[in-house]
Amino acid sequence: MMNFIFRVILLLLGLVFAASLAVAVMLLAAVWGVRYAWGRITGKPVTPWMASMGGRFNPRSGFERFRNAAQPAEPSAADVANARARGESVRSPLSLRPAGDVTDVRARPARGE
């Protein structure tokens, strides 16, 4: 008996959801129709909603945004000055000092030898 009541409740919830969805679609269609009719009465062209909300949708802009983000930015003059003061290259963190200055690394023989 509980299973039957549960199914009836779910059916009623589905019907309420479908009815609310239908009302929303009808309301949207009514607003669209009134807008179109007002444009016809006044003689003004009816622009699509997306055009009135910010222009055309350009799918290329998303790809360009991420492609440009992947390219490294050019270093500023302050970045160049700071890197040179530390003895580093602007393009990479490699040191420009000679290798003889390294003191904290011990040379080890290769494992194969």
Q: What is the pLDDT of residues 93-107, one digit of tens each?
A: 544 555 566 667 677
pTM, 2 dp: 0.42
SS3 9: helix
Alpha helices in the chain (DSSP H): 2-42, 49-52, 59-70, 77-86
Mean pLDDT is lowest, of 14-18, 57-61, 64-68, 101-105, for 101-105
Any idea what the Cα angle at residue 51 is, between residues 45 and 53, rounded to 5°?
120
Residue 56's pLDDT is what? Answer: 66
φ, ψ (nearest 5 deg) of residue 88:
-110, 165
